[in-house]
Amino acid sequence: MTVIGVVGAGVMGIGVAQNLAQTGHDVVLVDTDESILTAALDGIRTNCRMSPFTGGPRLDPDDVLGRIRTAVGVAGLAGAELVIENVTENWDVKRAVHTELDAVLDSDAVVVVNTSAIPITTMASVHGRPSRVVGVHFMNPVPAKHVVELIPGVHTSEETVERTRRLLHAMGKREIDVKDACGFVSNRVLMLTVNEAAFLVHEGVADAASVDEVFRGCFGHPMGPLETADLIGVDTILYSVEVLHEHYADSKYRPCPLLKQMTDAGLHGRKSGRGFYTYDGGAARAVA
């Protein structure tokens, strides 16, 4: 029986685990604390119940959750044939996790890095077998977003790419092949847009609702950049912009101070209940 490991039970890890389970895969979901894992399973149950009301398929929560078991620590992934890592967009945190993964996993296990900006070759440098490391940039919410970026590193083998491609197709995904570069395609463009939109609010040019309405009303975007920031996570946006700024040493990626302030204040968007908008179970209301 093929077992897929999922590291990190945050927003992205929950989405990846659910997507795998609802497409018939057996999953081991790991994180650092049992309470995080309990909350993750509760979140997946809620997502399954809400799926038909948000344009998704009708799902049996018990069937989906029946395919997911949890474990504290990456030692629980021993024997997994493929692992998808989804921890926070911070090099020090990711490096520590990948060091542990390299020590635990079998030599032929594939390690998929789900990252917003960090180059895959950088992540693979932690591993004794970099040919088994590949990047997949999943979009949020994972079960509803059917297109991903597939990013081989310098040393990634063709076998690793093809094994990952087969899994993505089994998950109902269509991949776009992208070369390994910090931010890839999506976030090299998106993070600049979100960061500049935050600057508009920071400088008092317009409030968040007005910035987003320009993108919806003038450009036909279904969601404005600051709504998108709240969906992704304001903290994740900040970390991604910081990675781009450090990697390219280009002032165009300078992080907006408002993103830093909001991250420090715990205003991380939908997952915390407040970001550029507040979320209280009803319609979102702009606060920034």
pLDDT tens track for 148-165: 999 999 999 999 999 999
Query: Catalytic annotation on 149?
Result: yes
Query: Catalytic annotation on 195?
Result: no
135 is known to lie in a ligand binding site:
no
Q: State the average pLDDT over residues 172-198.
A: 97
234 contact partners, CB below 8 Å, separation of at least 6: 259, 262, 263, 267, 268, 269, 275, 276
10 is known to lie in a ligand binding site:
yes
pLDDT exceeds 90 at position 287: no
Query: Catalytic annotation on 187?
Result: yes
The one catalytic residue in 149, 186, 213, 272 is 149
Q: State the average pLDDT over residues 70-99.
A: 95
260 is known to lie in a ligand binding site:
no
pLDDT exceeds 80 at position 52: yes
pLDDT exceeds 60 at position 1: no
CA–CA dist 12, 148 (Å, integer): 13
The one catalytic residue in 86, 187, 195, 240 is 187
Strand, helix or coil for residue 114:
coil
CA–CA dist 288, 278 (Å, integer): 9
Residue 280 confidence class, pLDDT cut points 50, 70, 90: confident
Query: Catalytic annotation on 245?
Result: no
The one catalytic residue in 25, 98, 137, 245 is 137
pLDDT exceeds 90 at position 2: no
85 is known to lie in a ligand binding site:
no
114 is known to lie in a ligand binding site:
no
1 is known to lie in a ligand binding site:
no
Residue-range domains of the chain with CATH: 3-177 (3.40.50.720), 187-286 (1.10.1040.10)
The pTM (predicted TM-score) of the whole model is: 0.90
Helix or strand run (H / E) with residue 174: strand 174-177
Q: Are 77 and 111 in contact (CB under 8 A)?
A: no
pLDDT one-digit tens code per residue, 100-152? 999 999 999 999 999 999 999 999 999 999 999 999 999 999 999 999 999 99
